[in-house]
A = this chain, B = another copy of it.
Amino acid sequence: MTGRLVKVAKEVLAERGHHLLESDLYSMRWKAVFDADDFPERLDARRLSFINESGHAFENGTQTPDVEAEQEKLLAADAVVLVFPLWWFSMPAILKGWVDRVFAYGLAYGYQGAGNTYRYGEGGFAGKRALVALTVGGSESDYSPRGINGDMDELLFPITHGMLFFPGMEVLPPFAVYGAVQIPDEALARTVASWRRRLEGLFDDAPIPFRPQNAGDYPDRHVLADSVAAGKTGLRVHVATSSPSSQREEQLVTGVPMEEALK
């Protein structure tokens, strides 16, 4: 089903005249592990600091060619669409390794070498849109606001808020296909239609209203002002309204849950 989402995305975006850059990580045999081989010209040959070496390599043009190529694609893009199966409530290792390696210091964090001055709404990827589309084996109810796996929007917060909004992207509400192991034909048609609508709205739909760092809600850049979401805690305090759950019904498509499909 993940492949189908990619295929539809390519069709819809091409139909609409967009120029597409694809990174099919498995086909590319993407190196997932961020390690010493990522830094051919070390700042400190004895001790490996990923932060220092990442910043040094980015600044001096000594990154590996695969990382540079991905950064160029990202910088050229007006929108980034991540499509993946949800494995263990997060992204597959190969995609995490794309983030670990490509989101360099000086670009995706420590933007302009200025520490945390620019993050959450500002940074190296500001002005771009991001859309996460995922396939899920389990049932939608398991990921509902009181579902046993945890609310999907909050499970994805480390990705939507942490990996995408942090370096500056506007992040659209995720698109999830539940019960993706087995989708009856009629549900498949609905899935594709919903996904098409989301892609058609890529540059128009309202992003998740995550609170920017530098617009007043975090006066010291670290902690929410007492007056904002007063008395509340939890990941949702970083969203300016109680949305995006309101849009949920339109975004989600459901097949047969894994445990039923495998019976």
Contact A88 B158 (CB under 8 A): yes
Which residues in chain A, 30-88, are within 8 Å of chain B measured between CB atoms? 30, 32-35, 49-52, 55, 85, 87-88
**Chain copies in complex:** 2
Contact B99 A96 (CB under 8 A): no
A12 within 8 A of partner (CB): no
With contact pairs A89-B163, A157-B155, A158-B155 given, residues A223 and B33 touching in the complex (Cβ less than 8 Å): no
> In the complex, what residues of B have CB within 8 A of residue A116's CB?
138, 258-259
Contact A262 B223 (CB under 8 A): no
Mask, A21-36, CB within 8 Å of B = 1, is: 0000010001011110
Q: Pick the contact of A222 from B88, B148, B181, B233 — CB < 8 Å?
A: B148
Stretch at the interface among A123-131, A169-177, A198-206, A234-242: A234-242
A13 within 8 A of partner (CB): no
A184 within 8 A of partner (CB): no
Closest to A260 in B: B115
Report the minimum CB–CB distance from A113 to chain B (whole Å): 8
With contact pairs A213-B148, A262-B51 given, residues A89 and B222 touching in the complex (Cβ less than 8 Å): no
With contact pairs A181-B51, A223-B148 given, residues A100 and B115 touching in the complex (Cβ less than 8 Å): no
Contact A259 B154 (CB under 8 A): no
When chains A and B are docked, how far (Å) is the Cα of A213 from the Cα of B147?
A: 11
Contact B90 A93 (CB under 8 A): no
A18 within 8 A of partner (CB): no
With contact pairs A32-B94, A144-B223, A234-B154 given, residues A100 and B87 touching in the complex (Cβ less than 8 Å): yes
A195 within 8 A of partner (CB): no
Q: List 14 A-B contacts (CB under 8 A).
A: A51-B258, A88-B96, A88-B100, A92-B100, A93-B96, A93-B100, A97-B97, A115-B260, A120-B148, A142-B223, A146-B224, A147-B224, A155-B158, A155-B235
Extra contacts, 19 of them, besides A97-B97, A146-B229, A150-B235 (Cβ < 8 A), are A32-B32, A50-B85, A50-B87, A51-B137, A51-B262, A88-B100, A88-B103, A89-B163, A92-B100, A115-B260, A115-B262, A142-B222, A147-B223, A147-B224, A150-B157, A150-B238, A151-B233, A155-B157, A234-B234
